[in-house]
Amino acid sequence: MIRRSAVTIALAVILALPGRLFAWDTGTDTVKKKKARITAVKGSVEVKSPANKSEWVPGAVNAAVKDGYIIRTGEDSAATLNINGAAENITVELDARTKFSIVELDGTAGGKNSILLSLAEGKITARAKNMLPGSVFEIKTPTSIVSSQGPNSSFNVQVDRID
């Protein structure tokens, strides 16, 4: 009788445990996809999505931007983007006459969590906070790549247009 009760109790405990304990954990439920939004617009700011490569639309505050999106600012114009992930927070400020694109928000370059942005022309100021260990934040220009692997960083990147 004692043996049967012990087996019944053990079976009840096993059945009461969450199913996750015995399921394969792919890690996808704990990974928060990074999201990018335009948080400020001044003057002429336009956005082009990869789905509509020929049409520029006005940039608006709170508009979501994703991989492949291009943002450009006109004369006397500016925009601010915010990229949020699980803990990281990246702010990118675009100055006037800037052409900027989001290459990849959730990359895995070299087995590391990476964010890759591209600056074709103009000037940006980028501030990264609370980057996860092993994460890489990169801004590619026509002639160089600026990269940060630390938890907090700030830098200005400028590309002058050469005609």
Taking a C-beta distance cutoff of 8 angstroms, is the pair 36, 82 a contact?
A: yes
CA dihedral 134, 137, 142, 143 (to 10 degrees): -60
pLDDT for res 20 = 32
The pLDDT tens digits along the chain (163 residues) read 554 443 333 333 333 333 333 333 333 334 558 899 999 999 999 999 999 878 999 999 999 999 999 999 999 999 999 998 767 789 999 999 999 999 998 877 666 778 899 999 999 999 999 888 888 889 999 999 998 887 888 989 999 876 6
pLDDT for res 111 = 65
Give this prediction's pTM: 0.76
**pLDDT tens-digit profile of 136-152?**
889 999 999 998 887 88
| Closest by CA position to 128, among listed 68, 159, 85, 73 | 85
pLDDT for res 103 = 93
Please tell me the distance from the alpha carbon of residue 45 to that of residue 5, in angstroms, as a whole number.
71
pLDDT for res 136 = 86
